[in-house]
Structure 1
Amino acid sequence: MRNYYIYLLKEDVAYEYFGKEILIFNLFLEKLQEQSPAHLQILLNQIRYITNPISVIEINRYIEKNLPVEAVYKQNTTEFLYHAANTSKNYSYAKLEIFNRYLKLSSEGSYDAETHFFEVLRKYNSCFLAMDFENRHFGWLNPIKQERYI
């Protein structure tokens, strides 16, 4: 099973750290591995400073409205389940859990179901950063285009 933790970064932070995502990933990874309560609190404060809270109601409405019609999903106040084609060759399952400061996307099978969620979230806001700590993968859901001035 693949697990992605998706944070909504503040816009100025997203622009400043585009291309330097490894620094943000390392901050979150350090938080997961920290043993000292005092240092953990500092890391949590830093993370709270660079991220925006997520409106559970607003994102629920947006996902409900924008998931593909052929999707089979169940929704409660904080969780969406999505099953893409359930054939033996193409099994795809994803579950999106919504919390105040992050989203957790768990998926298995092919990448179809998780791709649908990523696509909807990408259109909702361009400053989402997804991180898979187990496999050390991370990236923007919608890469930010930087303007170059000469």
Structure 2
Amino acid sequence: MQYPAAICHFMSDPHFNEVINRICGSILNAGWTSYVALTLLLSLNRFATLVGNKWISALFTGKTLKGFVIACWVWGGIFLVAYMGPTLEIRYIPEMLTWRYSGRQPTERIVRHIAIISAILEIAVTALVYFATFVFLCFKQLCIHAPLQPANCNGPRVGTRELQILIQV
């Protein structure tokens, strides 16, 4: 099957206008940055819900939760504004089928390092929180099935809600 020349050109050559490239790259980077922060917030919320302390659960209700969500979107918005500016951009490289950071040095290098290091830290903390959630649920399940329950195994049985969270983790 032979593809029309327009499709081959679209798939292989630099085909985006500079403005479209800048807008798409900025939106993709802002979305990724916000997504990672929101995933961290979700993991913390799940863990706080399971642990059930009043002061921890209070952090994830009402205005406080809205503030956390707004902070996640603002964090992504900062990168959106930075990459829409004149010194930074994320450019699509068709040969590699990926997006790459580019722009004027040293601003590009500094912002790229901030984005990458913050994403790595957020993903690492998210993994630790999910691991703690997994361990908490497993320990809670073991306490229920133990023949002689230790003193620190108090609390209700593991319900279906907790098991669903365990499966999602």
- Which TM class, normalised by the smaller chain length? under 0.3
Q: Which is richer in strand?
A: 1
- TM-score, normalised via structure 1 length: 0.26
- TM-score, normalised via structure 2 length: 0.24
Ranked by relative contact order (alpha carbons within 8 Å, sequence separation 6 or more), the top structure is: 1
